[in-house]
Chains A and B, each alone.
Chain A
């Protein structure tokens, strides 16, 4: 991902948000800082309750931070009410106004901004075209399908040309096929409008396919910020590796750290080269992760050895579960071809080859 020398659209500086008071208080956000660049598709990813929606609501202005600053192009917007922030939201439930038509919904923000009627009309027409809803402009929002409501919600939030668009799990209510279409649609809209998108999701696949950068959150903290590739291939934390994709966890003694690389001595005695996050100190029982598709199964000797426990066919690939000699289960993903089987059977004694560019040392 090329890093443009862009300005930051949003800067979140040491923001804390505490709900409740006294003994019942909960820190929904625990001193979070993050910068979101202009024109970026930025995703807040994490399990439910991790604080991602809270952070979005603070940026939108529906809640106010307990401490810290939220800067929009350098200006602190944390104390402003939502109707004074040039930021719009696409709600998870869409929150379309049921007593208005599709066109009236889209024009509402502009109307509230006091734009002239002719301008509103032109902009609404433009938005309807952008989301391909021209034919349904006069319908009530209760008379259109979920996918169409989604488009209207997008058009409504984009119509006032916000500096930043916030999207709160907008695709979670759609079925699989529609969700895939809308993912592409969203990317297109972001590209065409050039607006900074901040997207909240718990779906790691959605985050990986759509984002320029992802912030992985857990328990009110941001654990790692990076490109999808960084997050997937170079997770800094055990949680990040576990939450995104499938992973094998191995225990290893890590030494010779330098230049982002380290030597990891596995329990089997084999030594592999692994990438390592900055600032990691040598450790005897560190966690090393290996993605199932980055390991190879062999009938000869590998860095690890074990017995094939189970074989599961997935269409595009096959997952082979190997019980290691040390007792853990290690998954290897093998690309399928049309003619041949996977070449292994249950009970086979196998070796696992972990290449030099397959392992990553993570913090626990």
Chain B
């Protein structure tokens, strides 16, 4: 007869073993699908490009150097790669504007939904998620149909006699921005709505009761309390914006590239896989910085709730 202590120890051992067994599939997937490929990308970034794409197994830091610098083909000096820098800048600034503008439009939308009666709320949330049913590519082409020179907007404005020449929206940064706002708006609305739904509206009443006007209530009570939702929404919009590929490709034309297109270029026509890998990792680092910012802010506002 085993003593109680032995039984307890055996149970504990079994418990630990079961946990490993149960989490094994997840661990394997994480290793094979996330860590493994990432490792390959890191290794590739330190190799030499092959003449027809691919890599030659020879160590080189050229890939990394080329992320921000370029070697002059005549005198071999290094200079900042203006083309890459402008693409980095476009990616970051367009993602930033996308985040700010989706917040600008998403916040009132979320507020509107959260203040409806519960049953109506579900309908509105449902409507917000409808765009997700359609493929991103199709949604982007739909946007193209709206803004192109012979598209909906220009045709309507010309028919009304407001403009004589069609507005050149397609193939500009504005087109990319418009496309990204359209595509990522729900990702801003939903997390803000989620935290706003949890917001105790009696606090809003308490604010009004204590002589705070509508703007003060928004600024001093509503906004601080739904900040986690705003931060989550901002991250959810900023990160995919930074790596956007389809939208700049379809709406920005060939000239207005973003990081995603630059990476694709290196793996395709550019035949510089190490550079592509290095830019990919750079993008990932940018995303991680954004996430760190989020985690720091989220933990701070959690502390604020006691």
Contacts and interface: CB of A to CB of B under 8 A. Distances in A.
Interface of A: 60-62, 81-84, 87-89, 91, 93, 95-99, 108-109, 112-113, 140-143, 156-157, 160
B306 A143 contact: yes
A91 B201 CA distance: 12
Contacts of B76: none
Given A83-B213, A93-B200, A93-B202, A99 B208 contact: no
A81 B204 CA distance: 13
5 contacts: A88-B209, A89-B209, A95-B200, A108-B220, A157-B210
Contact of A156 (B210, B213, B220, B224): B210
Contacts of B265: none
A160 B211 contact: yes
A98 B224 CA distance: 10
Interface string B176-205: 000000000000000000000000101101
A113 B216 CA distance: 11
A22 B221 CA distance: 36
B306 A61 contact: no
A160 B206 CA distance: 13
Contacts of A112: 210-213, 216
Nearest to A81: B208
A140 B216 CA distance: 21
B209 A108 contact: no
B306 A98 contact: yes
Given A140-B304, A140-B306, A99 B212 contact: no
A113 B211 contact: yes
A62 B206 CA distance: 10
Given A82-B205, A140-B305, 5 more contacts: A61-B209, A97-B203, A97-B206, A108-B212, A112-B216
Interface in B96-124: none
Nearest to B204: A95
Contacts of B306: 98, 140-143
Given A83-B213, A160-B211, A89 B305 contact: no
Nearest to A142: B306
Contacts of A141: 306
Contacts of B244: none
B225 interface: yes
A245 B74 CA distance: 103
Contacts of A61: 208-209
A95 B225 contact: no
Contacts of B200: 93, 95
Interface in B273-305: 301, 304-305
A169 B110 CA distance: 32
B299 to A, nearest CB: 15
A82 B305 contact: no
A62 B204 CA distance: 10
B202 A88 contact: no
B225 A98 contact: yes
B132 to A, nearest CB: 32
A108 B207 CA distance: 8
Given A108-B212, A112-B211, A160-B211, A95 B206 contact: yes
Name which of B200, B205, B210 has the most chain A CB atoms within 10 A of its CB: B210
A187 to B, nearest CB: 23
A83 B211 contact: yes
